[in-house]
């Protein structure tokens, strides 16, 4: 995980241009906002990344806690949302200080693939401690075992075509072939789960889970799961 954190904490070419980055994070924020249960809800976004449009989620909630492991990204987030009293930025090391059963909604989107199985289980136990008894956990962007890289590419190109950065996407894909991301994906791999295995993990951690009808974000070949404490 440390290698992946270092990757996300340095300049990279995953987003082909500023338009791609903006659209990517806006779609996620709009999807997440629909799950906020009430205007006074406390929401935690674990592994939030750059979270460019976290203010959209915060506007629907009482408080939004952005949790990010990459130190440079944490500093950027803190500066970006310094004027928003609803948004708190922190790192995973501070989770032990969060009171038990104090969070209404926890989101972990596009993170499971970068975790070992044991690390994922540890996080699920932490989330089980933090969630209110009627709270909701969302695990998004889970990669199925049979999903090909080509399917991810098709999803990106559809997004690019719809949002006006198709040419940049083609160039970006060419750059990605020789990027650090491609090297890490080859050497470290990405964790993949079928629905049955992911649901079993949730059950073992004390949740009742189900697969959502649609994935959060633009890539509908990946999966989102909804879980509540048992």
Topology (CATH level 3) of domain 2-229: Rossmann fold (3.40.50)
pLDDT (0 to 100) of residue 10: 83
For the entire predicted model, the pTM comes to 0.92
The whole-angstrom separation of Cα 147 and Cα 63 is 35
Task: Please state whether beta strands 87-90 and 103-109 pair in parallel, antiparallel, or not at all (unpaired).
Answer: unpaired
Residues in a beta bridge with 87: 64
pLDDT (0 to 100) of residue 35: 98
pLDDT (0 to 100) of residue 3: 85
- Residues 134-159 have a mean pLDDT of 93
Task: Please state whether beta strands 42-46 and 63-67 pair in parallel, antiparallel, or not at all (unpaired).
Answer: parallel
pLDDT band at 39 (very low <50, low <70, confident <90, very high): very high
Kindly tell me if the per-residue pLDDT of 196 is higher than 60: yes
Contact call for residues 21 and 166 (beta carbons, < 8 A) = no
Contact call for residues 64 and 95 (beta carbons, < 8 A) = no
Kindly tell me if the per-residue pLDDT of 187 is higher than 70: yes
Q: What is the pLDDT of residues 69-112, one digit of tens each?
A: 999 999 999 999 999 999 999 999 999 999 999 999 999 999 99
Kindly tell me if the per-residue pLDDT of 47 is higher than 60: yes
Kindly tell me if the per-residue pLDDT of 2 is higher than 70: no
Contact call for residues 100 and 130 (beta carbons, < 8 A) = yes
Task: Give the rounded percent of residues in the chain with a pLDDT score beyond 90.
Answer: 81
pLDDT (0 to 100) of residue 4: 82
Kindly tell me if the per-residue pLDDT of 177 is higher than 80: no
Kindly tell me if the per-residue pLDDT of 169 is higher than 90: no
226 SS3 class: strand
The whole-angstrom separation of Cα 161 and Cα 176 is 19
Task: Give the rounded percent of residues in the chain with a pLDDT score beyond 70.
Answer: 96
The whole-angstrom separation of Cα 160 and Cα 167 is 8
**Helix axes of 166-176 and 18-33: crossing angle, nearest 10 degrees:** 100
pLDDT (0 to 100) of residue 171: 86
Average pLDDT, the chain: 93
The residues, any chain, with a CB within 8 Å of residue 80's CB and separated by 6 or more, are 52
pLDDT band at 1 (very low <50, low <70, confident <90, very high): low
């Amino acid at each position: 995980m440390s290698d992946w954190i270092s990757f996300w904490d340095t300049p990279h070419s995953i987003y082909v241009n500023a338009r791609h980055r903006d659209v990517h994070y806006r779609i996620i924020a709009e999807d997440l906002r629909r799950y906020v249960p009430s205007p006074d809800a406390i929401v935690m976004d674990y592994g939030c990344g750059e979270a460019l449009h976290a203010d959209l989620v915060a506007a629907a909630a009482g408080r939004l806690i952005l949790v990010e492991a990459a130190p440079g990204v944490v500093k950027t987030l803190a500066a970006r949302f310094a004027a928003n009293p609803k948004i708190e930025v922190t790192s995973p090391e501070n989770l032990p200080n969060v009171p038990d059963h104090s969070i209404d909604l926890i989101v972990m989107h596009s993170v499971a693939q970068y975790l070992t199985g044991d690390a994922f289980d540890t996080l699920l136990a932490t989330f089980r401690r933090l969630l209110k008894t009627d709270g909701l956990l969302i695990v998004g962007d889970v990669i199925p075992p049979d999903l090909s890289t080509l399917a991810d590419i098709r999803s990106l190109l559809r997004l690019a075509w719809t949002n006006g950065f198709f040419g940049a996407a083609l160039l970006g894909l060419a750059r990605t072939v020789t990027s650090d991301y491609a090297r890490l994906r080859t050497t470290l791999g990405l964790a993949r789960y079928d629905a049955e295995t992911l649901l079993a993990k949730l059950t073992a951690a004390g949740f009742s889970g189900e697969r959502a009808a649609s994935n959060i974000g633009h890539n509908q070949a990946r999966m989102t799961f909804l879980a509540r404490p048992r």
